[in-house]
Amino acid sequence: MKRSFATLLIISSFLFFHPMSASAADNKAMQIKKQTELQQVKPKKLVKIKLKYSPGGKYTWDLTGDNVDEIVRADRRLRKLLNIE
């Protein structure tokens, strides 16, 4: 009887004062928080260029993409590189 009581006392004190119970409170305080500014960052999609060479010796191209400014820049650069103005 005394032996089982002592064992029960040791086990209960171990469970009560165990560092895991303290870290459980720390885990609640250290929950992962979502950062909205990181969720909104998306990689830039590149401008797709389909360059065509006509039998008459002229170049034409089709530009596709999400950003209009990037499409305009790509168009200007192609015109400059191909000496079309």
Residue 61 phi, psi (nearest 5): -150, 155
Q: What pLDDT score does 85 carry?
A: 64
The one-digit pLDDT tens for each residue of the chain (85 residues) are 566 777 777 777 766 666 554 555 566 666 777 776 666 767 788 999 998 888 988 888 999 998 999 999 999 998 898 887 6
Locate the domains of the chain by residue range: 2-29, 48-81
pTM for the full model? Answer: 0.47
Read out DSSP for 24-51?
HHHHHHT-----HHHHT--PPPPPEEEE
Q: What pLDDT score does 33 carry?
A: 73
As given in the structure block, the two tokens for residue 24 are 């459980």
Half-sphere exposure at residue 9, Cβ-oriented, CA atoms within 13 angstroms: 6
Q: What pLDDT score does 68 carry?
A: 92
d(CA 63, CA 49): 5
Q: What pLDDT score does 62 carry?
A: 94
Residues 6+ apart with CB under 8 A from 53: 59
Q: What pLDDT score does 6 carry?
A: 76
